Amino acid sequence: TSSYRIASIPGDGIGVDVTVEARKVLDRAATSHGFSLSWQEFDWSCERYTKTGAMMPDDGIEQLSRFDGIFLGAVGFPGVPDHVSLWGLLIPVRRAFTQYVNLRPVRLLPGTTSALAGRTAEELEMVIVRENSEGEYSEIGGRHNRGQENEFVLQESVFTRVGVERIIRYAFELAKTRTGRVCSATKSNGLIHSMPFWDEIFAEVSSDYPDVQAEQCHVDALAARMVQAPDRLDVVVGSNLFGDILSDLAAAVTGGLGMAPSGNINPTGEFPSMFEAVHGSAPDIAGQGIANPVAQILAGAMMLDHLGETVAAQNIHAAVEKVLEEGTVQTPDLGGKSTTAELGSAVVAAL
Amino acid sequence: TSSYRIASIPGDGIGVDVTVEARKVLDRAATSHGFSLSWQEFDWSCERYTKTGAMMPDDGIEQLSRFDGIFLGAVGFPGVPDHVSLWGLLIPVRRAFTQYVNLRPVRLLPGTTSALAGRTAEELEMVIVRENSEGEYSEIGGRHNRGQENEFVLQESVFTRVGVERIIRYAFELAKTRTGRVCSATKSNGLIHSMPFWDEIFAEVSSDYPDVQAEQCHVDALAARMVQAPDRLDVVVGSNLFGDILSDLAAAVTGGLGMAPSGNINPTGEFPSMFEAVHGSAPDIAGQGIANPVAQILAGAMMLDHLGETVAAQNIHAAVEKVLEEGTVQTPDLGGKSTTAELGSAVVAAL
Ligand SMILES: CC(C)[C@H](C(=O)O)[C@@H](O)C(=O)O
Ligand SMILES: CC(C)[C@H](C(=O)O)[C@@H](O)C(=O)O
């Protein structure tokens, strides 16, 4: 039987709460589908940072490299600046393992309602393919004339041909397996160096996919479209920042951030991929057992799918949908009174 | 009686259609409120560009500097790359005249429906204060190793202390006249040079306004919030790019882009300010007489307000609301069959 080594990094806040439940579900899926998961847990987090001054040990990346998958809760803690926690863990992992795709599927799950008026579940199914290795998230830049009247900051965005081409190609390949439609987020009217380059490569790649319907849309108009006409969107590909914004927005117009999983994927399989919920660590409700574990459970399903356990992944999806459809076990954000653990157990039972 | 010299630049596409109607309304408002508008029209546009190779003449900025206000339709035309048309007209004007505020109020007007489910008009009233002179829209950057495997592009964002401080201060001053709440869009967890600087200045300025309730929110979460909890937002301040995205989104969650005006404001009054609709030139429906002129009419009202004609501005608002409320004259986007001119005339009549 196949066995997968999984590094679990629950992180901070509700990351810890939801990871426990997702592991219960994944372990049950493993048992009933004839594979095994061998978990190793890492306490890398803001809590660790406040004690040791580092989010993870110096050889953290090396340690993770021995795993088949990385299962991340959420990182972030009041008092630890976000740029410290994220650039000390999340972003280095994404980059060291060339997880250049951040895949963020959204859809309206049963038992949940869209924030939009009069939309059916079919109109609200899409996937954001976010570039995850370069772009606007860059360490290049700095601050000049500190404290002076003429103080200023430079922040560099970096787009490479290799980086842009591979993410766009990934989006086209994905579109072939879905509706055959790709929309590229651009802003070439305002950002006159980076985005015309992005558009040019988008046009080049699209000529390799005559059967895929390719369009591009400025990110401002695209944000409006997600609200006003989401039905005509399916695969949306965007830069690191645009993908970040559009995926939160897409989650909001569908079932909300409590339901949205995310995969940081190294498509070649050379390095482990990392799966997480789109939501953050939500310190305000952490440890109370009221966080919604669905996003993390679905992130687990994405991980199994990535590892090749497609049927198990589908069955987890089906089990989540069954529980949501029944609507008897719901966390407060879904309008119910159940705990994180009760929802987790209900999914296990439904499996 | 006061007289104001207004430069009108209808531009391209529906910019031309809606500007005519807005001028009708403004002229009527002038007559009935005892001031006069002396218009001069400029044909600066993509059409001009295709004929002459320039969006405006070399001394365009100098010509405009003699006016009290600039009334812009929309710019953009198939075949002329957006970065040409915009950096040849819109953006230079914004910068030459230090129009560092882009003010974008949105609210749900009568007779229109929100894309969001179950929201009242009161919950959907906010104003985006967009930084309009620097930030992500920068000419600094370039392309390296063109055509090679290792090709890449750099795009610099530039944030100055002066630029960030003045826009944030403007937002706080505005909040004092409204609900007393300001939310700053940030992304300091991803953009580790520019946004921590922005946040720092936001904190500094906010300490000068103890009575204004200040909060900050990452732009991804803020986009989601506009959809899921718009009721708790009032003044939203953001960088050039974030303000661009959030204002389109805010327009989409309220009455749509056909209703959203925008002012490019030079708060010191040293230079003329420029008023325009948030929507673009929509070449697909241009010249058909079906474009909705409301956004452009409201942009005209913003211009009058800026010039000190507050009562006239309020009355234009009231007239627009009356027409929309009656609902007998509606352009196709509003669900009716009326023309641009009919809607314009109805507003004139209501004045
Ligand atoms: C056309 C474009 C450059 C412009 C901008 O992004 O500033 C437009 O989207 C706007 O919002 O005024
Ligand atoms: C926490 C933050 C750095 C991160 C990002 O922007 O990548 C998060 O918003 C996400 O979407 O994964």
In terms of DSSP H, where are the helices of A39-150? 46-52, 60-64, 82-85, 91-96
What pLDDT, on the 0 to 100 scale, is given for residue A185? 98
- Pull the structure tokens for residue A307: 């590892």
Could you read off the pLDDT of B268-318 as tens digits, one per residue? 999 999 999 998 899 999 999 999 999 999 999 999 999 999 999 999 999
SS (H, E, C) A251-281: HHHCCCHHHCEEEEECCCCCCCEEEEECCCC
Q: What's the gap in Å between A190 CA and the centre of ligand 1?
A: 7
What pLDDT, on the 0 to 100 scale, is given for residue A66? 97
> Residue A94 CA: which ligand 2 atom is closest?
7
Could you read off the pLDDT of A217-228 as tens digits, one per residue? 999 999 999 999
What pLDDT, on the 0 to 100 scale, is given for residue B111? 84
Catalytic residue among B199, B248, B322, B333: B248
- Residue A229 with chain B: CB contacts under 8 Å: none
**Exposure b/e, A144-167, CB count within 10 A at least 16 = b:** eeeeeeebbbbbbbbbbbebbebb
- Chain B, 54-113: which have a CB under 8 Å from a chain A CB? 81-83, 85-87, 91, 113
Rounded CA-CA distance B344/B29 in Å is 13
SS (H, E, C) chain B: CCEEEEEEEEECCHHHHHHHHHHHHHHHHHHHHCCEEEEEECCCCHHHHHHHCCCCCCCHHHHHCCCCEEEEEECCECCECHHHHHHHHHHHHHHHCCCCEEEEEECCCCCCCCCECCCCHHHHCEEEEEECCCECCCCCEEEECCCCCCCEEEEEEEEEHHHHHHHHHHHHHHHHCCCCEEEEEECCCCCCCHHHHHHHHHHHHHCCCCCCEEEEEEHHHHHHHHHHCHHHCCEEEECHHHHHHHHHHHHHHCCCHHHCEEEEECCCCCCCEEEEECCCCCHHHCCCCCCCCHHHHHHHHHHHHHHCCHHHHHHHHHHHHHHHHHCCCCCHHHCCCCCHHHHHHHHHHHC
A230 three-class SS: helix
B248 is catalytic: yes
pLDDT for residue A126 is more than 90: yes
Instruction: State percent of chain A over pLDDT 90.
Output: 91
What pLDDT, on the 0 to 100 scale, is given for residue B266? 98
Asked if residue B55 lies in contact with residue B44, where contact means CB atoms within 8 angstroms, the answer is yes
pLDDT for residue A308 is more than 90: yes
Rounded CA-CA distance B228/B156 in Å is 33
Could you read off the pLDDT of A170-211 as tens digits, one per residue? 999 999 999 999 999 999 999 999 999 999 999 999 999 999
What pLDDT, on the 0 to 100 scale, is given for residue B306? 97
B86 lines ligand 1 (CB under 6 A): yes
- A249 at the B interface (CB within 8 A)? yes
Closest CA in chain A for residue B144: A160
What pLDDT, on the 0 to 100 scale, is given for residue B226? 96
The answer to whether A154 contacts B116, with C-beta atoms less than 8 Å apart, is: no
- Contacts of residues B39-42 at CB distance under 8 Å and 24 or more positions apart, as own/partner, are B39/B6, B39/B7, B39/B8, B40/B5, B40/B6, B40/B7, B40/B8, B40/B67, B41/B8, B41/B9, B41/B10, B42/B7, B42/B8, B42/B9
What mean pLDDT do residues A268-280 have?
95
Distance from CA of B34 to the nearest CA of A (A): 39
Mutate to test the interface with A, among B133, B198, B241 (most CBs of A within 10 A): B241
Rounded CA-CA distance A147/B161 in Å is 9
Angle formed at CA A140 by CA A137 and CA A142, multiple of 5 degrees: 115
Q: B268: exposed, middle or buried (C-beta count within 10 Å: 0-12, 13-18, 19+)?
A: exposed
Rounded CA-CA distance B279/B256 in Å is 9
Q: What's the gap in Å between A135 CA and the centre of ligand 1?
A: 21
- Chain B, 173-212: which have a CB under 8 Å from a chain A CB? 187-197
What pLDDT, on the 0 to 100 scale, is given for residue A111? 84
> Residue B276 CA: which ligand 1 atom is closest?
12
Nearest to A124 by CA among B227, B331, B16: B227
Is residue A339 very low, low, confident or very high in pLDDT (cuts 50, 70, 90)? Answer: very high
Rounded CA-CA distance A301/A310 in Å is 9
Rounded CA-CA distance A91/B61 in Å is 44
What pLDDT, on the 0 to 100 scale, is given for residue A11? 96
A244 lines ligand 2 (CB under 6 A): yes
* A:B CB pairs within 8 Å: 205
Residue nearest to atom 12 of ligand 1 (CA): B278
Closest CA in chain A for residue B230: A115
> Residue B190 CA: which ligand 2 atom is closest?
3
What pLDDT, on the 0 to 100 scale, is given for residue A78? 86
Neighbours of B301 (CB within 10 A): 26
Asked if residue B223 lies in contact with residue B249, where contact means CB atoms within 8 angstroms, the answer is yes
- A152 at the B interface (CB within 8 A)? yes
The closest ligand to the CA of B84 turns out to be 1
In terms of DSSP H, where are the helices of A177-266? 194-206, 219-228, 240-253
In terms of DSSP H, where are the helices of chain A? 14-33, 46-52, 60-64, 82-85, 91-96, 161-176, 194-206, 219-228, 240-253, 294-307, 310-326, 340-350
Asked if residue B220 lies in contact with residue B108, where contact means CB atoms within 8 angstroms, the answer is no
Position A119: which residue type? Answer: R
B189 lines ligand 2 (CB under 6 A): yes
Rounded CA-CA distance A256/A258 in Å is 6
Could you read off the pLDDT of A23-79 as tens digits, one per residue? 999 999 999 999 999 999 999 999 999 999 999 999 999 999 999 999 999 998 888
A190 lines ligand 1 (CB under 6 A): yes
Q: B58: exposed, middle or buried (C-beta count within 10 Å: 0-12, 13-18, 19+)?
A: exposed
Classify strands A69-74 and A3-11 as parallel, antiparallel or unpaired.
parallel
Dmax over CA atoms of chain A, in Å, equals 66
The answer to whether B220 contacts A247, with C-beta atoms less than 8 Å apart, is: yes
Distance from CA of B254 to the nearest CA of A (A): 10
pLDDT for residue A140 is more than 90: yes
Q: Which active-site residues of A does the annotation give?
A: 137, 187, 220, 244, 248
Asked if residue B70 lies in contact with residue B273, where contact means CB atoms within 8 angstroms, the answer is yes
Q: What is the DSSP string of A25-51?
A: HHHHHHHHHT-EEEEEE---SHHHHHH
B221 lines ligand 2 (CB under 6 A): no
Distance of CA A331 to the CA centre of its chain: 21
The answer to whether B193 contacts A141, with C-beta atoms less than 8 Å apart, is: yes
Nearest to A197 by CA among A182, A206, A212, A186: A186
pLDDT for residue A81 is more than 90: no
Ranges of residues in chain B with a pLDDT under 70 are none
- Average pLDDT over all residues of chain A: 95
**Exposure b/e, B112-147, CB count within 10 A at least 16 = b:** bebbbeebeeebbbbbbbbbbbbbbbbeebebeeee
Rounded CA-CA distance B229/A348 in Å is 32
What mean pLDDT do residues A150-178 have?
98
B269 lines ligand 2 (CB under 6 A): no
Is residue A112 very low, low, confident or very high in pLDDT (cuts 50, 70, 90)? Answer: confident
B103 or A112, higher pLDDT: B103
> Residue B75 CA: which ligand 1 atom is closest?
1
Question: At which residue do the structure tokens 């992130």 appear?
Answer: A299
Q: What's the gap in Å between A99 CA and the centre of ligand 2?
A: 14
